[in-house]
Amino acid sequence: MTTRTTSQPSEPSAAAPLIDLQSLVVAVRRRRRLWGSLALLGLVLGAAVAVALPQPPTAVTKVLVAHQEDQPNDPGTLIRTDVALLQTTLIAENALESLKSSEKPEDFMKDYTGSGVTNNLLQIDVTGDSDAEAVARAQALADAFVADHVRRIRQVADADAKALLDQRDRLRGELAQVNEDIGDGTPEGVPKASANMESLFARRAELTSRISDFGQRAEEARIGAPRLIAGTQIVDAPRAVRRSLPRAVATDAGIGLVLGLALGLAVAAVGTVVADRPVLRREIAAHLGASVIAELPGRSGGRWRGRRVREARARLTRSLARTVRGSAEPVSLLELGCPRATGGIALDLAGELAADGPVVVVDDLPGTRLADRRPKAGGPVVVGVEHAGAVAPKERRLGVGSVAPGAAWSDLPYLGTRTFLVVRAGHGSVAWLHTVARQLAEQRVAVLGVVVIDPDPRDRSDGTLWDGPRAAPRGPDEGPARQNGTGRRRRERLPMWASTGPDSDQEVR
């Protein structure tokens, strides 16, 4: 048993990237209503928050903090320690005591923050019910911090001085013992006694020097503390922060706009990848297995744009009319995501063909059908698909149907054995486009071409299939082979049958 795999021309290349950036950008741009709406919503919400929830009155003050361990290359560890100390219940409780407030320190700590401006400059921001209260709170908090910092400096200096003085006193006691030993020494003349006396005198000199050194160091420790205490002070008196409502509204609205835009773009991008809906001409043509022969803008925007749409629609009608006139089999228009536009194209096409003879439009559109509308004077005859059998053989039939989900596939050949697919860009998923191509091929409905509705105006991709899928077996309609300008023989291509899509096409024999 051998297995042979035949690849369909409509299948995406195996080396195709996982995400097509061009298709992704086009799809996200087409969903500009989504991310534009979210950006506008963020703008409105940001402005509303600034108006409905204004920031409370705030006061700010700055404190210069001197450290005994200050170093030029300090990475900010000391000032971060001061910020952490500011957020302690001890500082908050001392500040509340000076304010004579019964508020809990834990609650008061939520109303102020500290930040290090430099290695020795601490900024304190405090909120309150009014500007005066915020300023009073900032003053009390700064005073409490300075007092606590000064207390700790004095405690450290006193501890160092006490340790040095205790060491000095111990050495003084040892010096007194040495002096007593010297006074009780043996008379001179004894060699052994003379050596002992020399060592005692040397020890006394050493102890005297050390006692003097410890005393000097204790004084220096106490002298350094006042310098640090004087260096720790409030350098910027507490003041209320003036806030402008228009500026706050503009700032919050701008932040909301950026966040909304970012969220909208992310949602649009993720939705595009998940939905997998082709928007480029080359993608639509590849998945349907038929070339794009025309396109029409979906929405008119202004007089100039409407005129261009009318001109494009007139050109499309003339082009389709030429193809229909040259076909001996009935032709249909099958829509996917654009029933209204397809109905309008069918009526225009029927009006163009009316010059050659009577034309009957067989309507099988979903929803509000053409057959249910009031006929216009001089317009083409429109009948429902249930009355298609009553159409006279001499009348040209033009079918209009749908290949959207829920379509009756077996009814499509009765609308026409040859068809134009009218597809809205970005409407059908890849899986559904493959389903449409496979069902049309099974029903033996030849696809003459694809008309793309609402294409991206910046789409420059090619929707022509140069190497289309294999056509189904044909009879006498097979076109003759003819020579081109280079002398090579090529076969004239007739309208191809819809591709079966990238489904399993393994042939086992």
**For residue 118, which of 158, 74, 159, 151 has the smallest C-alpha distance?**
74
Q: Is the per-residue pLDDT at 377 higher than 80?
A: no
Please tell me which residue, 501 or 328, carries the higher pLDDT value.
328
Give residue 266's pLDDT.
Answer: 92
**Confidence label for 384 from pLDDT (cuts 50, 70 and 90):** confident
Q: Is the per-residue pLDDT at 76 higher than 80?
A: yes
Q: Domains in the chain, please, with CATH?
A: 58-242 (3.30.1890), 279-508 (3.40.50)
Task: Give the number of other CB atoms < 10 A from CB of residue 105.
Answer: 17
Residue 456 corresponds to which amino acid? D
pLDDT grade for 186, boundaries at 50, 70 and 90: low
Q: How confident is the model at residue 92 (pLDDT cuts 50, 70, 90)?
A: very high
Tokens found for residue 25: 């950008």
Question: What is the distance between the alpha carbons of residues 300 and 282, in angstroms, rounded to a whole number?
Answer: 24
Distance set, CA 449 to CA 94, 231, 350, 445 (Å)? 84, 86, 18, 12
DSSP class of 497: B
Burial label, 26 (beta-carbon count in 10 A; 0-12, 13-18, 19+): buried
Mean pLDDT of 221-230: 73
Distance, in Å, from the CA atom of 78 to the CA atom of 121, rounded to the nearest integer, reads 11
Picking from 419, 398, 397, the residue whose alpha carbon sits closest to that of residue 409 is 419
Q: Above pLDDT 90, what percent of the chain?
A: 30
* Position 449 pLDDT exceeds 80: yes
Residue 9 has pLDDT above 70, yes or no: no
- Report which of 420, 507, 491, 501 is spatially closest to residue 9, judged by C-alpha positions: 501
Whole-angstrom distance, CA of residue 134 vs CA of residue 145: 16
- Report, in this order, helix, strand and coil percent for the chain, each rounded to 5: 50, 15, 35
Confidence at residue 208, expressed as pLDDT on a 0 to 100 scale: 83
Q: Show Cβ contacts of residue 158 under 8 Å, excluding neighbours closer than 6 positions.
A: 222
Q: What is the CA radius of gyration of the chain?
A: 46
Average pLDDT score, the chain? 80
Over the stretch 19-72, which tens digit does the pLDDT of each residue have?
Answer: 677 788 888 888 888 999 999 999 999 999 988 888 889 999 999 998 877 777
pLDDT in tens, 340-373: 888 888 888 988 888 888 888 888 888 766 765 6
Residue 143 backbone class (left: φ over 0; alpha: ψ -120 to 50; beta: rest): alpha
